[in-house]
């Protein structure tokens, strides 16, 4: 049996482990305080925002804030 679960969690990088993220706002199935590797998050979760706002995309800042904006 395959089931699909819809829920939104929020994660922040762990200060001492750059490849690990801590769930700051969780759900019943993904509780707050749980720590996950970035690779696991990318493989098992999708962005709640559109793809242009994907927070795990390393080029996000360059794409959303080019040098010629604001100056």
Convert the pLDDT of each residue in 2-60 to its tens digit.
888 888 898 999 988 888 999 999 999 999 999 999 889 888 887 776 554 566 666 66
Q: What pLDDT, on the 0 to 100 scale, is given for residue 36?
A: 94
> Looking at residue 60, what is its pLDDT?
60
Predicted confidence band of residue 71 (pLDDT cuts 50, 70, 90): very low
Torsion of CA 25, 27, 29, 33, to 10 degrees: 20
Give the separation between CA 7 and CA 5, rounded to whole angstroms.
Answer: 6
pLDDT for the residue 37: 93
pTM listed for this prediction: 0.62
């Amino acid at each position: 049996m395959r089931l699909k679960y819809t829920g939104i969690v929020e994660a922040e990088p762990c200060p001492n482990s750059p490849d690990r993220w801590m769930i700051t706002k969780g759900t019943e199935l993904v509780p707050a305080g749980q720590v996950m590797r970035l690779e696991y998050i990318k493989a098992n979760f999708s962005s709640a925002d559109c793809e242009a706002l994907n927070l795990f995309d390393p080029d996000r800042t360059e794409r959303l804030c080019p040098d010629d904006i604001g100056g």
